[in-house]
Amino acid sequence: MAVRADLFESPDHYQLDELLSEEHLMVRTAVRDYVKKEISPIIEDYAQRAEFPQQIVKQLGDLGVFGPTVPVEYGGGGLDYISYGIMMQELERGDSGVRSTASVQGSLVMFPIYAYGSEAQKKKYLPKLASGEYLGCFGLTEPDHGSNPSGMLTNIKDAGDHVILNGSKMWISNAPFADIAVVWAKNEEGKIQGVIVERGMEGFTTPTTHGKWSLRASATGELVFDNVKVPKENILPNVIGLKGPLGCLSKARYGIAWGALGAAMDCYDTALRYSKERIQFDKPIGAFQLQQKKLAEMVTEITKAQLMVWRLGVLMNEGRATPAQISMAKRNSCEIATNIARSARQILGGMGITGEYSVMRHMMNLESVITYEGTHDIHLLITGMEITGFNAFK
Ligand SMILES: Cc1cc2nc3c(=O)[nH]c(=O)nc-3n(C[C@H](O)[C@H](O)[C@H](O)COP(=O)(O)OP(=O)(O)OC[C@H]3O[C@@H](n4cnc5c(N)ncnc54)[C@H](O)[C@@H]3O)c2cc1C
């Protein structure tokens, strides 16, 4: 299939680049160049075939986007949260599935090992995950427990020097190719604990989930545990309870807030360029008021969201960002991105439904992004609870 050259230029209507450091701009250039060279030319093909481009795992490791905030001594980048956000924005500008691979590896696998793991676990896994030698996945969601993970049935039972793990997880990004899985399970007291499960452990399988119309270039699967013997040294020793997985989700949701904005920026940029080139009724369609309304509203929403994620990044760097603030930004970026993708698709007319342009792929991807790591409704309820003091979940 013919795919258009990637001519992306980022909108910066409020001179927000002035808020970024030299380091941030260098990070952005490096990831943007990588996406233009290695992702844009191939991703539509992989998405059409619903195939995960496995070669990107090593490439992303070399690029330094796995665990950029993890200290250098464990193989991470030692960078700040704005650099991390910019990386996610640029990767998702290419494809939400590529960003998902990096988010899961960095925020949902490396972060819990770094924050809750033993020194031996950190030394054993983090450098290999950072370099892309290992791919990881994160198992929280179950067939009957999505928005309400506290009801999970997956469990561990004490058996001397190891535990026996039983249960199943579904909708797990990276699962079919993962070397290790950070899995959340209930112990015999009903308390949630994290365990590191390695591919090859007897009774552990990862069937692929087929038939997705979204995130088609990202591999999704189940994690099935049938009396898996997991050595006790693989239990994350420094966290107990739902705050373990929720702590990881806060980091990943922060990355999604920047990432979804990247997809929105790509859709806007594509639609703007098309509106200047496509002639109807002897004029570029961008000269018609109806198309200008769409484009003007897109850039306004993008600018508002850029300010929001930048400020959230500053709060993250200062260790002051709250889960409710992260929820609001994740929800806002997903909402504006899905709306912008739909508007952009309409500006492209019939061409908007083909894979020649990235817009419809983004539009379909964003249906997953607005659903995973807490649905749109759940993030609204988090904001509602924060401002009213009333819990409307139950
Ligand atoms: C492509 C993809 C990749 C994913 N990757 C991972 C992964 O790597 N690891 C992982 O653990 N999970 C992953 N997930 C799972 C994802 O996090 C869940 O799908 C999500 O949390 C929602 O759970 P659910 O699908 O069971 O929906 P449900 O919880 O069944 O929700 C269905 C609907 O009910 C609404 N709802 C639920 N509770 C309430 C309430 N209290 N009040 C009002 N409305 C409510 C929801 O908003 C939603 O609209 C992934 C999902 C997808 C689609």
- Interval 295-311: pLDDT, tens: 999 999 999 999 999 99
Residue 79 Cα, ligand 1 centroid: separation in angstroms? Answer: 31
| Residue that is last in its domain, among 183, 214, 234 | 234
Q: Is the pTM of this model over 0.95?
A: yes
Instruction: Look up the CATH number of the domain holding residue 275.
Output: 1.20.140.10
pLDDT-derived band of residue 248, with 50, 70 and 90 as boundaries?
Answer: very high
Atom of ligand 1 nearest to the CA of 375: 47
Residue 291 CB less than 6 A away from ligand 1: no
Report the C-alpha gap between 102 and 255 in whole angstroms: 10
Cβ 343 under 6 angstroms from ligand 1 = no
The mean per-residue pLDDT over the stretch 325-352 comes to 98
CATH of the domain at 53: 1.10.540.10
Question: The CATH number of the domain where 221 resides is what?
Answer: 2.40.110.10
What is the 245 CA–ligand 1 centroid distance (Å)?
Answer: 14
Cβ atoms within 10 Å of 241's Cβ, excluding its own: 11
Q: Same domain, yes or no, for 247 and 380?
A: yes
pLDDT digits (tens, 9 = 90+) for 161-185: 999 999 999 999 999 999 999 999 9
Q: Is 133 a catalytic residue?
A: no
Per-residue pLDDT band at 4 (split at 50, 70, 90): confident
> How far does residue 150's CA lie from ligand 1's centre (Å)?
13
Same domain, yes or no, for 184 and 258? no
Residues 6+ apart with CB under 8 A from 118: 233, 236, 237, 238
For residue 374, give the ligand 1 atom closest to its CA. 21
Nearest CA to ligand 1 atom 25: 146
Q: Is the same domain home to 193 and 61?
A: no
Are residues 374 and 254 both part of a single domain?
yes
Cβ of 138 below 6 Å from ligand 1: yes
Domain boundary, last residue among 203, 234, 265: 234
Is residue 1 domain-resident?
A: no
Residue 2 lies in a domain: no
- What is the Å distance from ligand 1's center to 330 Cα? 14
- pLDDT confidence bin for 2, thresholds 50/70/90: confident
Domain check: are 56 and 187 in the same one? Answer: no
Any atom of ligand 1 within 6 Å of the Cβ of 339: no
Same domain, 276 and 361: yes
Residue 11 counted as domain residue = no
Interval between CA 286 and ligand 1 midpoint (Å): 38
| CB distance 385 to ligand 1 below 6 Å | no
- Please report whether residue 148 resides in a domain: yes
Same domain? For 227 and 259 the reply is: no
Q: Which residue's alpha carbon is at the smallest distance from atom 9 of ligand 1?
A: 172
Percent of the residues in the chain that have a pLDDT greater than 90, as a whole number: 98
What residues does 166 pair with on adjacent strands? 155
Atom of ligand 1 nearest to the CA of 214: 1
Q: Out of 38, 92, 335, 373, which one is annotated catalytic?
A: 373
CA–centroid distance, residue 146 to ligand 1 (Å):
5
- State if residue 193 touches ligand 1 by the CB under 6 angstroms criterion: no
Look at residues 214, 234, 254 and tell me which one is the last residue of a structural domain: 234
User: Which residue's alpha carbon is nearest to atom 27 within ligand 1?
Assistant: 146
Q: Judge if the beta carbon of residue 393 lies within 6 A of ligand 1.
A: yes
First to last CA, the chain: 49
Q: Indicate whether 69 belongs to any domain.
A: yes
Environment class of 37 (CB within 10 Å of its CB; exposed 0-12, middle 13-18, buried 19+)? exposed
Asked if residue 149 and residue 104 are part of one domain, the reply reads: no
Sign of torsion over alpha carbons 298, 303, 304, 309: positive
The pLDDT value given to residue 201: 98
Q: From CA 378, how far away is CA 381, in angstroms rounded?
A: 5
Write down the pLDDT at residue 253: 98
> For residue 218, which atom of ligand 1 is closest to its CA?
1
Residue 150 counted as domain residue: yes
For a ligand 1 pocket test, name from 100, 372, 378, 390 the mutation site with the most ligand atoms within 8 angstroms of its C-beta: 372
Q: What is the mean pLDDT of the chain?
A: 97
CA distance 206 to 169: 9
Query: Using a 6 Å cutoff on CB, does residue 141 contact ligand 1?
Result: yes
pLDDT of 3: 80
28 lies in which domain range? 16-135
Q: Do residues 258 and 221 both lie within one domain? A: no
Each residue of 205-221: pLDDT tens digit?
A: 999 999 999 999 999 99
Q: Are residues 141 and 123 in the same domain?
A: no
Count the domains in the chain: 3
| pLDDT score recorded for residue 394 | 85
Any domain includes 294: yes
**pLDDT for 25 beyond 80:** yes
91-137 confidence digits (pLDDT tens): 999 999 999 999 999 999 999 999 999 999 999 999 999 999 999 99
Residue 218 and residue 180 in one domain: yes
* 184 CB near ligand 1 (under 6 Å): no
Instruction: Tell me if 373 CB under 6 Å of ligand 1.
Output: yes
**Residue 214 maps to a domain:** yes
Say what the pLDDT of residue 101 is: 98
- Calculate how far, in angstroms, residue 368's C-alpha sits from the geometric centre of ligand 1: 9
pLDDT of residue 137: 98
Within this chain, do residues 248 and 119 fall inside the same structural domain, yes or no?
A: no
pLDDT over threshold 90, residue 87: yes
CA 162 to centroid of ligand 1, rounded, Å: 31
Q: How far apart are CA 316 and CA 170, in angstroms?
A: 30
pLDDT at residue number 160: 96
